Amino acid sequence: LFRSLRTTCNLASLFAATGKGAEAERMFQTALKGLETELGKMHIDSLAASSRLGELQKSRGHYQEAEQHMKRAVKGLSSKLGVDHPETLSCMSNLASVLEVQGRSQDAEPVQKRALAGLQSRLGDAHPDTVASAMSLAGIYNSQGKFIMAEPLLRRQLELKERKLGSGHADTLVAVGRLAQNFEAQGKLDEAEKLHQRIIKVRESSLGPDHLETLQSVSNLAFMFKSQGQLDKAEPLYRRVLQSNQTNLGEAHSATSSAMSNLAALLKEKGKLTEAEALYRQALKNRESRLGRIHHDTLQSLNDLAAVLRLQGGFEEAESLYQRALKGRQELHGDDHPDTFRVLNNLGLLFKDKGDLRQAEKLYREARGGAMAKLGADHPDTLTYEHNLAALLDTKGNSIEEAEQLYRHVMTGREKKLGPEHPDTLRSISNYASLLEAKDDLQTARRLQSRAREAFERKLGEEHPDTLTCMNNLASVLIGLQKYEEAEPLCRRALKNRERRLGKDHRDTLTSVNNLAFLLKAKKMYADAEYFHRRAVDGFRSTLGPDHQDTLRSIYNLAALLEAMGNFEEAEPLTRQVLEGFRSKLGAHHPDTLHSVLHFSTMLQVRRQFREAEGLCRDVLERFEREFGKEHPETLTAEDCLAGCLEAEGLKLGEAEGRRRHVLSAREHQLGFSHRDTLATVDKLAELLVALGEIEEAERLARKAVESRVLKLGEDHPDTLKSARVLAGYLKALGGTMQLVEAHALLQEAKAGQEAQLGLDHNETITTNCLLAQVLASLGEMEEAVEEYRKALQLMQKTIGPDHPQTLEVALDLSALLESFAYQGGQGSADLMEEAENLGRYVSSKRQDDMAVNSRTVRSSLAIDSESRMACLLTVIGKAPEAGFFYSRVLAADPKRQKSRQGLHDQAVSIEAQGKNDQAVQVMRKIYNDVVADKGKDDPQALGVLCNLAESIMLSEKEVKADEEEEDEAENMLTEAIENFYLNTTVRFDSQNDEINGDSMQALDSLSRLLETRGSFQEAEVLLRKRLAECYRLFGSDHPETYETMHRLALVLCEPENPTNNMDEAIELLNREQEGVQIANGTSHQDDSMLIQKQLENIRRKNTCSHES
């Protein structure tokens, strides 16, 4: 049996050598189990089998299982043979290799050092096991970026090979190749090239120019040129290899297929995508025929072809190929294999390009999670996937903090594992700096980009592709800092080097063309900028086609420049072409379709980071004032941004107004009133004036802006239509009947024009629909208003998503409108109220987890507002217990309020809403006792609380039959409150009332509403007459408070339960109200005069019926 088990191990090794890894692993496991049973786990043969099984598992990518078998073998051999035995040391060296391949080079280094020292001592430097350990340690140093430490090991091994085997021996040439790769990594390119040429020369001489090993050496040199960006040097070498293999081995040979793939990869880098695609297709066809559909090389060809199709925009076929590759990897290796993770990552790249960011994020997270569990958090593959996820989150814009955290981890992880100047580390630093640039932390971004660029130039040279990319990134930061004189030389050098190395129409070259154009535009050198933008458009169009994403982006950039130049006639169709192209190619939700409307300062304000935004704006403004003066256009732009920040924060509106007026004055003087920058300032100033209550001036400015845009752009231009909508909003705010009618007409015209010009689902069209709905509601056309809001909500759900903050706000507005319509007796009131409730619940649920400004534990004001409105709605429709739950959440949002007297009152309301009226009474009693103890029994606040307590007792009586003492208590409380605070004699005896002061008006209003709710309309009438008299005295006859009280008194007089039932007086009061509202047009009062007219008609109808009966 023992001999049989050893034979099984030997046979397993043979199977492994012939590529039958899965079968070999099963045989090793069977043999190991048998040896352990027959001989014991610590027997030498059992330990040797465990070590060999670990080596096989490493070759199959099962690193964690391999590590366990290796560790067990090292521990057993150390115990049986000793730590310094050659078998133990060789096994220890293999264990270090397993650790290194998992990305754990820090753990592998001391293990391999120990093994190498022992092997050198026991076997000498020239022994194969010692050589293998030294090579492994050199590889560990290289993976850590410690190339200088690896070099002496590689030189020593080369010397040994040359002395023992000669300079032309195959093993010697392998050592030469490893040293050449080390020189490449150190940037010693001339020395590396000499070593590669040495290998080629020896193999050509000894083996011939067409031998496979000779051609492999040629490929290695080509790969070095390709990795250094010297594509023109690499291409003829790759073509030589392919031609030789085709001639000598045939089209279908595996070596020919590999040569096709290598040349295709180079051509892809050069932007020759059509030829690259053809080569990749041929390689795939060859490998499928020769190796089968589930072979490693075949699956790699699927991945390669999918990648080039993705770059060409062939997303559908690329996705199909990636899915085939993923299925094949899962079948070949399983779900948790590194090659499977790589396909998941590549599939994520495809979905990102397609604009399906949600699916891309899912795939990135899956690849990252799998790699983290299998390879460790700091493995290079894990960090790559993490970087891609961070870039995606940065693109999405709604997870900036997580993106920054991921970028930081990638940067620190690579610096730790690879060293501070490893190319991968430097790429991470540059990428992180780009994120900081997007966050407008420009000084830090500049420092990091400068550090990365200097290191790239030092390690790789000025013309290396990574150096040029970093050079472009640094220039972008400098442009953001307005350091144009520093940025321009970088842009021009990057462009010149890319033209020389890659050609004028390469994608990277055209990217540099775009960057230079952006700089020139920022410098107001529009003619030069236009030349470079047009060159970029022509280059992308000829290289990638008219519908490619990069082509569309370049057209958009040209359109933006033309718009800045005032060339609207040419800019508009270009912008439309880009928009339709992105919609057709990527979909309406793709970031490239939406990015044109995003601005960094707006992002900060939406995230409520007002202090940071204000600080940035002030710093830029001060810098421009010092450099250019207060009237320079750049200074005015910075001042405009600062004013917007102050306005959004809402705390310094006075300063914001002053800055807006200064910017408007300066721009009107420099550019004229009809210039787009001036008109934009007019719009912003008008919006601010509305916030300050100066609606009349805002309306005048907006009207002037509309007139100017009509003359300059035409009535149907999108900017004109938007301006008309803004004017309509101010007319609505004024609230008069004539203003509302004009607003309605403007919005109808704007809506029609925007639907024709922009489409139904454009954001501007949807915004117009929302405002039109509000105006219709103000005019009493509730049914039509509801329909407009429903259309707007559906379009927003389709375009920006159902969970977008703007969508949720529209949903909440629609909920309130439905509730109001239901109260007015709209058709299907129950259904309307149910729809309102459902919308309110949806918005509340989405906002519950809304991130707060400073803490994850505090919900945002939007979430609290939606919950408060939901609580009110639930209370109204009789769902008191659930309303109480929402009240409680609102209270919990403000810990300081909970401890205050007002907080106790809110708690009572919450408890009362839940139907626990007895508990509410207890809380109200405590409040009343506290106020009496603090201020005295006759204090107005004490009497107001007394009234609330009485109301709570009355509610409690409805729930549980109260005894006579409770009824008397409530009655006495109400009487005391009325006698001592609201009136000088009890209202129940209809006595004459003395004059009250203005501070009591709100309390008088509250009590009258309470009496109306309880059905005591005659008593409410007395209080409303008193309140109306006081309104005349305190506010005058044309004040909104006077009209409101007049309106309420008229409705109370019409109540059938009111003995007065004076319809004629009610009609007279409503007539006076309507007349007063019409006279008061132009004030900020927003009473609905159309609704007054409808109520008048209803009362007259009732009065007529009453007379007839």
Q: pLDDT tens across 699-738, in order?
A: 999 999 999 888 876 788 777 888 999 999 999 888 777 8
Whether the Cβ atoms of residue 492 and residue 510 lie closer than 8 Å to each other: no
Q: Is the pLDDT of residue 2 over 70?
A: no
Whether the Cβ atoms of residue 305 and residue 321 lie closer than 8 Å to each other: yes
Average pLDDT over residues 122-136: 87
Question: Band of the pLDDT at 999, cuts 50, 70, 90?
Answer: very low
Q: Which two tokens stand for residue 511?
A: 């990217």
Q: Is the pLDDT of residue 1017 over 90?
A: no
Q: Which two tokens stand for residue 493?
A: 């050098």
- Which comes out higher in pLDDT, residue 762 or 1055? 1055
Model pTM above 0.85: no
Integer Cα distance of 492 and 498 in angstroms? 10
**Among residues of the chain, what percentage have pLDDT more than 90?**
17
Query: What are the percentages of helix, strand and coil residues in the chain, rounded to 5?
Result: 80, 0, 20
DSSP 994: -
Nearest-Å Rg of the Cα atoms of the chain is: 39
Q: Is the pLDDT of residue 550 over 50?
A: yes
Q: Is the pLDDT of residue 314 over 70?
A: yes
Nearest 5°: CA angle at 534, between 529 and 539? 130
Q: Is the pLDDT of residue 410 over 70?
A: yes
Q: What average pLDDT does the structure give for the chain?
A: 78
- Which comes out higher in pLDDT, residue 747 or 841? 747
The string of pLDDT tens digits covering residues 799-853 is 767 877 678 778 878 887 887 777 666 566 778 777 877 887 777 666 555 433 3
Looking at residue 571, what is its pLDDT?
A: 77
Question: Band of the pLDDT at 1048, cuts 50, 70, 90?
Answer: confident
Integer Cα distance of 1107 and 1109 in angstroms? 5
- Which comes out higher in pLDDT, residue 723 or 482? 723
Q: Is the pLDDT of residue 181 over 80?
A: yes
Phi-psi region of 990 (alpha: psi -120 to 50; beta: other; left: phi over 0): left
Average pLDDT over residues 1054-1059: 81
Q: Is the pLDDT of residue 781 over 70?
A: yes
Looking at residue 856, what is its pLDDT?
A: 38
Q: How buried is residue 520: exposed, middle or buried, by Cβ count under 10 Å (0-12/13-18/19+)?
A: buried
* Most confident of the ranges 79-83, 647-651, 963-967, 1030-1034: 79-83
Question: Band of the pLDDT at 263, cuts 50, 70, 90?
Answer: very high
Looking at residue 1081, what is its pLDDT?
A: 43
Among candidate residues 311, 310, 342, the one with its CA nearest the CA of residue 326: 342
Poorest-confidence range of 105-119, 137-151, 276-290, 985-999? 985-999
Looking at residue 907, what is its pLDDT?
A: 62
Q: Is the pLDDT of residue 870 over 70?
A: no
Q: Which two tokens stand for residue 797?
A: 């759900």
Integer Cα distance of 986 and 982 in angstroms? 9
Average pLDDT over residues 350-368: 86
Integer Cα distance of 423 and 460 in angstroms? 8
* Most confident of the ranges 247-251, 547-551, 1045-1049: 247-251
Average pLDDT over residues 367-393: 86
Cα 772 versus chain centre, distance:
31
Q: Is the pLDDT of residue 276 over 80?
A: yes
Of all helices (H) and strands (E), which one includes residue 34? helix 21-39
Q: Is the pLDDT of residue 540 over 90?
A: no
* Most confident of the ranges 78-92, 414-428, 538-552, 599-613: 78-92
Q: Is the pLDDT of residue 1032 over 50?
A: yes
Of all helices (H) and strands (E), which one includes residue 606? helix 600-606
Looking at residue 876, what is its pLDDT?
A: 54
Question: Band of the pLDDT at 925, cuts 50, 70, 90?
Answer: confident
CA distances from residue 702 to 258, 570, 680, 708 in whole angstroms, order as listed: 68, 27, 11, 10
- Which comes out higher in pLDDT, residue 27 or 1109? 27
- Which comes out higher in pLDDT, residue 329 or 736? 329
Phi, psi (degrees; rounded to nearest 5) at 130:
-65, -45
Looking at residue 1090, what is its pLDDT?
A: 53
CB neighbourhood size of 654 (10 A): 10
In residues, how long is the chain? 1109
Average pLDDT over residues 410-423: 80
Question: Band of the pLDDT at 745, cuts 50, 70, 90?
Answer: very high
Q: At CB < 8 A and 24+ separation, what contacts does 1013-1017 make? A: 1014/954, 1015/1057, 1017/1052, 1017/1055, 1017/1057, 1017/1058
Among candidate residues 874, 878, 822, the one with its CA nearest the CA of residue 890: 874
Looking at residue 991, what is its pLDDT?
A: 36
Q: Is the pLDDT of residue 549 over 90?
A: no
Q: Is the pLDDT of residue 185 over 60?
A: yes
Looking at residue 799, what is its pLDDT?
A: 72
Of all helices (H) and strands (E), which one includes residue 730? helix 718-734
Question: Band of the pLDDT at 211, cuts 50, 70, 90?
Answer: very high
The string of pLDDT tens digits covering residues 1095-1104 is 566 655 555 5
Cα 291 versus chain centre, distance:
44
Q: Is the pLDDT of residue 195 over 80?
A: yes
Poorest-confidence range of 235-249, 789-803, 909-923? 909-923
**Among residues of the chain, what percentage have pLDDT more than 70?**
76
Look up residue 1098 and give its amino acid.
N
Question: Band of the pLDDT at 257, cuts 50, 70, 90?
Answer: very high
Contacts of 316 (CB under 8 A, 6+ apart): none
HSE-up of residue 1019 (Cα within 13 Å, Cβ side): 21
H-type helices in 228-356, by residue range? 231-248, 254-269, 273-291, 296-312, 315-332, 338-354
The string of pLDDT tens digits covering residues 483-505 is 778 899 999 999 998 888 777 88
Question: Band of the pLDDT at 216, cuts 50, 70, 90?
Answer: very high
Phi-psi region of 777 (alpha: psi -120 to 50; beta: other; left: phi over 0): alpha
Whether the Cβ atoms of residue 931 and residue 942 lie closer than 8 Å to each other: yes
Q: Is the pLDDT of residue 765 over 60?
A: yes
Q: Angle formed by the axes of helices 44-59 and 63-80, to 10°?
A: 160
Q: Is the pLDDT of residue 58 over 90?
A: no
Looking at residue 598, what is its pLDDT?
A: 29
Integer Cα distance of 266 and 284 in angstroms? 17
Looking at residue 707, what is its pLDDT?
A: 93
- Which comes out higher in pLDDT, residue 304 or 160? 304
Poorest-confidence range of 90-94, 323-327, 758-762? 758-762
